[in-house]
Structure 1
Amino acid sequence: MQELDRKYRDWRGNIVRVTGYDREKQQVIFRREDYEHDCMQPVEQFRDKFTRVEE
């Protein structure tokens, strides 16, 4: 897994922090604010639903 530290905005306007990318499974790993577990989404869906936020 490639570790990352980037902010994105989802389709509802919420900020998430991308923590990694799993090349083998083609999934983006991210964490929502106030949620203790990692979330995963296929990279194609992530690209459609999230926009990068410049820090």
Structure 2
Amino acid sequence: MMSRDPVVQLDRHYTDKRGVVVRVIAYDRPNQQVIFMRPGYEHECMLPLWQVEKHFTRADE
């Protein structure tokens, strides 16, 4: 049986509820956390998946 990595690396762009485009860089499966970068901010940000699904829109589809 193939094991699944707990953290999936991504490179996707989403728009937050204020219209700011963020870059999603990873998804932490066990904790259901989305890890993303905000423009002009050097640290990774993290939100629960449900919050991202509610307040963010995919920008690069």
Tell me the TM-score range normalised by the shorter chain: over 0.9
RMSD: 0.9
Task: In structure 1, give the amino acid aligned to 2:38.
Answer: R
Provide the aligned length of Structure 1 versus Structure 2.
55
Structure 1: gaps of 5 or more residues: none
**Residue 33 of structure 2 aligns with which residue?**
27
Larger fraction in strand:
1
- Which runs of 5 or more structure 2 residues have no equivalent in the other structure? 1-6
Q: Which structure: larger Rg?
A: 2
Identity of aligned residues (%): 55
User: CA shift at 1:54, angstroms?
Assistant: 1.8
How far apart, in 2, do the equivalents of 1:17 and 1:52 lie?
Answer: 10
User: Within 2, Cα distance between the matches of 1:37 and 1:44?
Assistant: 21
Q: Report runs of 4+ in structure 1 exceeding 4 Å deviation.
A: none
Q: Note the C-alpha offset of 1:9.
A: 0.2
User: Given residue 16 of structure 1, which amino acid in structure 2 is its aligned partner?
Assistant: V
**TM score, norm. by length of structure 2:** 0.87
Q: CA deviation at 1:19?
A: 0.1
SS, match of residue 42 in structure 2: coil
